[in-house]
Structure 1
């Protein structure tokens, strides 16, 4: 049995090392050691870090067991949700319990950070941590020979703490200050807590670097190097430093030193795209504390977004912004005299939405959020758009280069089957097949109608568990329409089928009305349509975006070939008159979401018919930009 004086001396010992002072009840103020939270729960280091350097949101379970060779050593338990939840703000909240001998503190912490962009190279982030907790003696852990009236008379304290901080970024450098326990309000006494609240201020300087030269398993790796100083009302200046190296595909490594807590080394592993586990070992080197033993920290993390995709999206956005901002300063400095833009910016952005693929839409969002677009000139805007589209083309070309499909043809006809093995592919339906090996060595085969769809699946599987990835293009001649055998004959010799195809040049509209042609179209893949009709025109087009869908009451269901978009009725009528003078009949409808007028050249009942119009430049009659819009379709 522990005697009264022993329990009391234990409390005094704990208080001596944690800046807890007593009135009538010992109080443990919110002061979680945060020097090892370098990868997750970084808002404990500075409240702005829920935004600065974050690219995901996550839930974490955190436990710190300090100085384990000392009985009833300090412990921390925390469940937290935190991360970047918009392009301008970070947010977090959590529940925690802090034990220090027989003194217990339990409560919640909330975090908010807001970013203000000053220019492309500089921004300022403001953040706050708010903590509400209840602190006092845990009577269940105090053992005395007889009931102690002093302990029985003690009541717990409820406190509210405000902890502000800021971070200033210049390029890859970050500078910040954090005021811990800036305000501590004691609800028991209804006044600010001064007797047991040790005001602490910390400052940091941090350098971040993306190791873009690394590839394969180490692709996307980065490191952060930080120096930190901390001073309080009772203690002198304390210094510390840390380094964390992040490998998005498999884990991270961290190390740090603090003149009070000592040296810490940690490792983290990503078990799946969302689940991670980290461990840190810390050993104090301070005289008088060495014999207390090491400290262990364990963190389990569940990320809400695919970790690798979220990281890539952040890197892509940074690269794109750098390209977009690299415009001639003389052009950028020229502003309209009346301060108003000389063209309809929203209208031009709507046209970009129509042609950009969904996977690249976040790049357009980044462009739209730029403050410089507010009073931009047309020439500057067009340059920004050109840089953006060039970047998208390079990205798409890089993806296709890494997954060039293998073409498979069979000379004899036969019954079509659903392939389950590589051997089955020779008797499979025409199309693009993504083939991989599962963890147990079995073939995993998925069919797609077009190459872009197959490439999208291929990119997703690259970061998964599948191995030996291929794209197989099954292109058997018996599946082609009766007039497509030109693909399997000598191009120098012409048969009747070739002559039939050639005779269609300039008469696509009549061809689409033919019932036999309808059956032929349905048997073709989108790649085959593109390949054939691109040869029939002087201006081949890239594959159209598939995500342009709209519901318009009273408008006939179908796939519309859009030629232009206007905000004003006058401009719409001028364009339609211009088209009429060229012998092109047009019509238009109004988008109920933005009231823009969409002028269209043709309407088709099926997607593949629309593709023929698209790739043939509307029967070789219109060579300016066009889009396909799905109206009232499922």
Structure 2
């Protein structure tokens, strides 16, 4: 055993002294090629702190190399890193590395910035700044005669600037990393390595996110890293890592490096905040193990809900609620509204009588059965109609088409939006994250790019008139569709809910005047079941809105009735919401049929089927 330790010490000593003579700076950052690949990714490539990252963490790592021998090399590393802003990543690390009689103490700072070149192409520039100081401990030399090389050793302080560039497209990231582009030896005021001794590497990363997975695989990420490395005049090296990250449980990792051998590792998430990980590496000479504990500060969201008004920005304003009794102060206005309602009802009765006298009713396939029609207008008798809001004559629900923009065309519209992002990637991620909730409510979320503000807005629908967008916004807010979940970090941090974030933004797309019309989208019929409560009537309802404010519900019903569409609403006893519907039937097939043919061409806007049972 003693003989083997002496041989090892001689080998390590000769290797280190030889490296110092050559002046190569690789010895000052040899820990960068091997790490968890889940945390501390900036140690592998500086740009990784800003790529596919939305967390910050504090990490403590201990590595023992050549564990089969006594006094084996050790590395102690403490780091804090992650994404600081939407397009900015940063990190800070301090370390101590003991190799034989030599000790390296250093600190490393990281910065990375991602720039969007196009909708699907990003360029990220980053760098590490490393300060390292090497000293020798003569007390560790177990020899009878003092070694002049050790006793006369002077500390070697080095500053090393390590830039990197990465191009990202789709699920791939590819780039180059210059590990010692500017390495300056402070004691002798000279470069530590000549140009021919510079080390550079190339990297290729593939990342796949399991967006639709559930259970233990929810939000899982599979990442593959490939590295090729050229150390000065030396031979090419290569290596790779594969990690399967399961946020619900932990992670598994495997890798290979030409210089260090094969490796495997695993991690366990003890809680949402704390994780531990272990790696084992076996090379030609001896084994290496690494253990770490990680404190996770949690995910970060970098979206801006409602932007502040500033020069050159789009004015964003939440619709103001009109006072409920705004027009009630004037008794004559109330009488006029009442008379107007009576005239409309009389006109509809006259139309029905004339249709019967002419004996020319519409085909049965185009109208609901009589018993269903008689059940359409069901408004609680104990409630007085609220006529405080002015009724509008526009009937957008009868228009079967919407205006779209051709290539080179333009369109100005009012978008009902819920979020905005600087990058398309974050907008798509937000839509995927909330997709299950949108589909459950029959909402189709999309995003649109505003070239003026440089934001991607996640929106639900767009309108030519602002008042129509305001009505949809009020409908969403009354439905409480965007209440923040308990585990939503943004909602907890800002004490806001998603319904407060629904806003209207005016956007002009395209650069010309060419537009065209296309049919309004109609998602497949889905039936939402509501448990019967109190005196709610069972049946299938084609629902077109839900309001918490009685004035808005009464206005919408009147507007539909004025357009000869029989409408009513029922009140949910538990929520107090008024569900406006345009058909009630006991036949599921009939409800689906009228949903699919847009109530015989009378209502093309968004609607849903509700089954009360």
TM-score tier by shorter-chain length is 0.5 to 0.7
Given that residues 550 and 578 in structure 2 are in contact (C-alpha distance below 8 angstroms), is that contact kept between their aligned partners in structure 1? Answer: no
Partners of 1:10 and 1:507 in 2: how far apart? 84
Partners of 2:242 and 2:60 in 1: how far apart? 22
SS in structure 1 at match of 2:15: helix
| Alignment match, 2:12 | 13
1:31–1:487: structure 2 CA closer, same or farther, 3 Å change rule?
closer
Structure with a larger share of its residues in strand:
2
Deviates more, 1:269-278 or 1:21-30: 21-30
Matched, 1:386 2:461: yes
Within a 5 Å distance, the mapping from 1:468-507 to structure 2 comes to 488=534
1:293–1:376: structure 2 CA closer, same or farther, 3 Å change rule?
closer
Per-residue CA deviations over 1:276-327 (Å, capped at 9, x if unaligned) read 111111111xxxxx3x32110112111111x6xx6xx799x9xxxxxxxxx9
1:176–1:196: structure 2 CA closer, same or farther, 3 Å change rule?
closer
Within a 5 Å distance, the mapping from 1:120-131 to structure 2 comes to 120-131=119-130
Quick one: which of 374, 394, 398 aligns to 2:451?
374
Given that residues 253 and 266 in structure 1 are in contact (C-alpha distance below 8 angstroms), is that contact kept between their aligned partners in structure 2? Answer: yes
The alpha-carbon deviation at position 208 of structure 1 amounts to 1.0
| Alignment match, 2:609 | none
Given that residues 273 and 296 in structure 2 are in contact (C-alpha distance below 8 angstroms), is that contact kept between their aligned partners in structure 1? Answer: yes
| Alignment match, 1:456 | 485
Partners of 1:25 and 1:128 in 2: how far apart? 19
The alpha-carbon deviation at position 241 of structure 1 amounts to 1.9
Partners of 2:456 and 2:25 in 1: how far apart? 64
The alpha-carbon deviation at position 31 of structure 1 amounts to 2.4
Partners of 2:56 and 2:31 in 1: how far apart? 21
Matched, 1:91 2:120: no
Partners of 1:383 and 1:68 in 2: how far apart? 54
1:219–1:89: structure 2 CA closer, same or farther, 3 Å change rule?
same
Partners of 2:551 and 2:193 in 1: how far apart? 88
Deviates more, 1:133-142 or 1:245-254: 133-142
Partners of 2:183 and 2:16 in 1: how far apart? 20
Within a 5 Å distance, the mapping from 1:114-193 to structure 2 comes to 114-145=113-144, 150-193=149-192
| Alignment match, 1:74 | 73
1:376–1:45: structure 2 CA closer, same or farther, 3 Å change rule?
closer
Within a 5 Å distance, the mapping from 1:283-362 to structure 2 comes to 283-284=282-283, 290=284, 292-305=285-298, 330-331=405-406, 333-334=408-409, 352=417
SS in structure 2 at match of 1:32: helix
SS in structure 2 at match of 1:188: coil
The alpha-carbon deviation at position 89 of structure 1 amounts to 0.7
The alpha-carbon deviation at position 332 of structure 1 amounts to 6.1
1:329–1:20: structure 2 CA closer, same or farther, 3 Å change rule?
farther
Given that residues 24 and 192 in structure 2 are in contact (C-alpha distance below 8 angstroms), is that contact kept between their aligned partners in structure 1? Answer: no
Given that residues 448 and 457 in structure 2 are in contact (C-alpha distance below 8 angstroms), is that contact kept between their aligned partners in structure 1? Answer: no
Matched, 1:250 2:249: yes
SS in structure 1 at match of 2:21: coil
SS in structure 1 at match of 2:9: helix
Given that residues 199 and 232 in structure 1 are in contact (C-alpha distance below 8 angstroms), is that contact kept between their aligned partners in structure 2? Answer: yes
Per-residue CA deviations over 1:465-511 (Å, capped at 9, x if unaligned) read xxxxxxxxxxxxxxxxxxxxx9746979xxxxxxxxxxx988999xx
| Alignment match, 2:373 | none
SS in structure 1 at match of 2:262: strand
The alpha-carbon deviation at position 153 of structure 1 amounts to 2.7
1:217–1:230: structure 2 CA closer, same or farther, 3 Å change rule?
same
SS in structure 2 at match of 1:22: helix
Matched, 1:215 2:214: yes
SS in structure 2 at match of 1:217: helix
Deviates more, 1:14-23 or 1:104-113: 14-23
Per-residue CA deviations over 1:393-447 (Å, capped at 9, x if unaligned) read 9xxx9xx9xxxxxxxxxxxxxxxxxxxxxxxxxxxxxxxxxxxxxxxxxxxxxxx
The alpha-carbon deviation at position 21 of structure 1 amounts to 2.3
TM-score in terms of structure 1 length: 0.51
Given that residues 449 and 457 in structure 2 are in contact (C-alpha distance below 8 angstroms), is that contact kept between their aligned partners in structure 1? Answer: no
Query: Structure 1, unaligned stretches of length 5 or more?
Result: 285-289, 318-326, 337-341, 357-361, 401-449, 461-485, 493-503, 510-525, 540-634
Given that residues 177 and 202 in structure 1 are in contact (C-alpha distance below 8 angstroms), is that contact kept between their aligned partners in structure 2? Answer: yes
Per-residue CA deviations over 1:530-585 (Å, capped at 9, x if unaligned) read 52x616x779xxxxxxxxxxxxxxxxxxxxxxxxxxxxxxxxxxxxxxxxxxxxxx
Partners of 2:124 and 2:196 in 1: how far apart? 27
The alpha-carbon deviation at position 95 of structure 1 amounts to 0.5
Partners of 2:134 and 2:46 in 1: how far apart? 23
SS in structure 1 at match of 2:33: coil
Within a 5 Å distance, the mapping from 1:422-437 to structure 2 comes to none
1:250–1:215: structure 2 CA closer, same or farther, 3 Å change rule?
same
Given that residues 51 and 90 in structure 1 are in contact (C-alpha distance below 8 angstroms), is that contact kept between their aligned partners in structure 2? Answer: yes
Given that residues 25 and 154 in structure 1 are in contact (C-alpha distance below 8 angstroms), is that contact kept between their aligned partners in structure 2? Answer: no
Partners of 2:458 and 2:204 in 1: how far apart? 36
* Relative contact order higher in (CA < 8 Å, ≥ 6 apart): 2
| Alignment match, 1:574 | none
Partners of 1:37 and 1:166 in 2: how far apart? 21
| Alignment match, 1:534 | 578
Per-residue CA deviations over 1:447-476 (Å, capped at 9, x if unaligned) read xxx9987x834889xxxxxxxxxxxxxxxx
Given that residues 254 and 266 in structure 1 are in contact (C-alpha distance below 8 angstroms), is that contact kept between their aligned partners in structure 2? Answer: yes
Partners of 2:55 and 2:195 in 1: how far apart? 37
| Alignment match, 2:43 | 44
The alpha-carbon deviation at position 209 of structure 1 amounts to 0.9
Aligned length: 385
Partners of 1:300 and 1:90 in 2: how far apart? 21
Given that residues 245 and 253 in structure 1 are in contact (C-alpha distance below 8 angstroms), is that contact kept between their aligned partners in structure 2? Answer: yes
